[in-house]
Amino acid sequence: GATATTPAAASDAAAASGTEAATPASDPASATEAAAPASAPAAAATPVAANGTCMRRILLPVNDGHLYALDALTGERCAGFGNNGDLDLQHAMPVTTPGMYEPTSPPVVTNKVIVVAGAVEDNFSTREPSGVIRGFDVRTGQLLWAFDPGAADPNKIPGPGEHYTWNSPNSWAPAAYDAKLDIVYLPMGVKTPDIWGGDRTPDLERYATGLLALHASTGKLAWFYQTVHHDLWDMDQPSQPTLADITDKDGKTVPVVYVPAKTGNLFVLDRRTGELVVPAPEMPVPQGAAPGDHVSATQPFSALTFRPSKNLTDADMWGATMYDQLICRVMFHQLRYEGTFTPPSLQGSLVFPGNLGMFEWGGLAIDTDRQVAVANPIALPFVSRLIPRGPGNPLEPQPGAKGSGTEAGIQPQYGVPYGVTLNPFMSPIGLPCKQPAWGYISVVDLKTNQIVWKKRIGTTRDSSPIPVAFRTGMPMLGGPMVTAGGVIFIGATADNYLRAFDVNNGNRLWQARLPAGGQATPMTYAVNGRQFVVIAAGGHGSFGTKLGDYVIAYALPKQ
């Protein structure tokens, strides 16, 4: 499935610098390759025409299912790419309704191949586009390979009159690329509808909800690691995986990939082989699926994690007033809840970590000099309730039917026996029922895999019915960035601020009020020795923050 994405963020220096691996673009002023914002363009610097046009290009996927190649200097289409600079990503899709297939993240660009994936509508129906991942020639746009995660032969390219697999697991979040290994790392989702899996075949489960590693030049499988088995909670991999080289206990350098999961687990894998570097043993989880479905007996639990250390109790229920807290406790006892991975139910299940996840598409920021990772986990429970499909309730979408486009409210799940309602677990006045904090900024030591510090981030100023700025720690969409000087920058919170923190201890160094929600990942660059930080303040419709169309730059003090 897909999660809602941020508006396009400020385009970075890759377009001007000729960066070939453009997801994400790093900067000499930064100690990290911060996660690229969703919907951002990628850049390439491969000659296309002898007359000098399109020597540097912007490769721009848009949400009607097309990818455009533009001259970075003029904005003109690259005539030698696709159909006059236009690549139709809807080709051979089983359904081509506009808006049902959306490439929400930048493609990975190598010196040979453009690797493109995309999002589909969550929980809408069993007749949706494929989650196929494709590789196109970086110069001409010619299709070089395909990897359809739901097909018996994932590399089979459909012939005339054929199409890719309906509803195969998709990859909507940003991917990462290791040029030395020529491997692209793709965070995978689950076959939609997400909250019921009684109709899933082994082929449709094989590459669902995990990290998929493909050889970028050929599209052949390198390895796959599944982070949730038979996913019934929309616990798809929401974040760009982060590549880093770490020193193990024997002093050896190990190339790893960090995989932040909605479950709060941080999976650490050898990026050459997919083998676990940090243990993630299989542990029993609650059983008892809805009629016609089943639940995996175990799930992997990483030793490096932000997941809750204990199950919620009624003592964890919270409210702005005593009445509010009482209602939250009553609702808590009415729901099914047996801890992490409580199955969806007709009774209504408390899902914690919630469907929004502890980690979202912002990902991690790695400080390679200090060997630490910066994370911003969320702690917001959700409630899911299955709705039996009764007489007169169609299994197939009716003409003009559309999904909600959000992760809240009634989801029709056409084609399966149940619809579902998904909502944050909120009090009657619209505040989370779980006691604060609901969002943190934190640092992890990559040498010991221990959390060094964790602090609340964000206030209720822009989301409370009463405009009072309680520092409760707020839910977030967007990621952190850390500079070589040891300063973390992050927007993301449900209040409209960009903040800076000391990476060593979490002390807040600075903050600035934004004119709209900062649901984006900041970036940094330097010009003539002066360093800048830029963020797109566009807000987020489904997140409820103030909308805008701002791109704002701040200058760091001169040294």
Mean pLDDT in order along the chain per 10 residues (559 residues)? 32 29 32 38 56 86 95 95 96 91 94 95 91 97 97 96 96 96 97 94 97 98 98 94 87 92 96 96 97 97 93 91 91 96 97 91 90 94 94 79 71 93 90 92 92 93 74 91 95 94 96 95 94 94 88 89
Q: Which two tokens stand for residue 42?
A: 């990628």
Please choose, from the candidates 249, 227, 353, the residue with its C-alpha nearest in 3D space to the C-alpha of residue 296.
227
Cis peptide bond prior to 437, omega within 30° of 0: yes
**What are the residue ranges of helices labelled H in 112-183?**
none
Residue 1 confidence (pLDDT): 39
Residue 38 identity (one-letter amino acid):
A
Q: How far is CA 315 from CA 318, 337, 348, 426, 460, in A?
A: 8, 14, 20, 16, 22
- Where do runs of H (alpha helix) occur along 433-517? none
Q: Residue 116: what pLDDT?
A: 97
Q: What angle do CA 503, 506, 509 make, to 5 degrees?
A: 85
| Separation between Cα atoms, residue 60 and residue 67, nearest integer Å | 5
pLDDT at 448: 87
Question: Residue 5: its pLDDT value, please?
Answer: 30
Pairing of strands 101-102, 530-537: unpaired
Q: Give the strand pairing for 253-260 and 113-116.
A: unpaired
For 275, counting Cβ atoms within 10 Å of its Cβ (0-12 exposed, 13-18 middle, 19+ buried), the class is exposed
**What are the pLDDT digits (tens) for 278-306?**
999 999 999 999 999 999 999 999 999 99
Number of H helices, E strands in the chain: 3, 34
389 to 106, 185, 296, 330, 386: CA distances (angstroms): 38, 38, 24, 28, 9
**What are the tokens at 99?**
């808006």
Q: Parallel, antiparallel, or unpaired for β 523-527 and 440-445?
A: unpaired
Q: Are 419 and 387 in contact (CB under 8 A)?
A: yes
One-letter amino acid for residue 505 of the chain: N
- Element of type H or E holding 322: helix 322-334
Q: What is the DSSP letter of 32?
A: S
| Nearest alpha-carbon partner for 352 in 379, 325, 319 | 379
| Residues written for the chain | 559
DSSP assignment of 102-128 equals E--SPPEE-SSEEEE--EE-TTSBSS-
Among residues 122, 231, 234, 236, the one annotated as catalytic is 234
Nearest to 156 by CA among 147, 143, 169: 147
Q: What is the pLDDT of residues 520-545, one digit of tens each?
A: 999 999 999 899 999 999 998 878 88
Which helix (H) or strand (E) segment is 260 a member of? strand 253-260
Q: Residue 252 and residue 285: Cα distance in Å, rounded? A: 35
What pLDDT score does 346 carry?
Answer: 96
CB 438 within 8 A of CB 432: yes
Measured over the CA atoms of residue 154, residue 158, residue 162 and residue 164, the dihedral's sign is positive
As a whole number of angstroms, the distance between CA 322 and CA 301 comes to 36
Contact 351, 381 (CB under 8 A): yes
Instruction: Give every CB contact of residue 484 below 8 A, 6+ residues apart in sequence.
Output: 29, 30, 31, 369
Q: Is 234 a catalytic residue?
A: yes
Structure-block tokens of residue 134? 């494709």
Alpha carbon distance 129, 167 (integer Å): 6
Q: What is the structure's pLDDT at 461?
A: 87
Q: What is the pLDDT of residue 26?
A: 31
Question: How far apart are the C-alpha atoms of 72 and 513, rounded to whole Å?
Answer: 32
Q: What is the pLDDT of residue 406?
A: 66
Q: What is the pLDDT of residue 33?
A: 32
Residues 424-449: tens digit of each pLDDT: 999 988 889 999 999 999 999 998 88
Q: Using the structure block, give the residue that is written with the tokens 């590693």.
A: 213
Tell me the C-alpha distance between 123 and 234, whole Å. 9
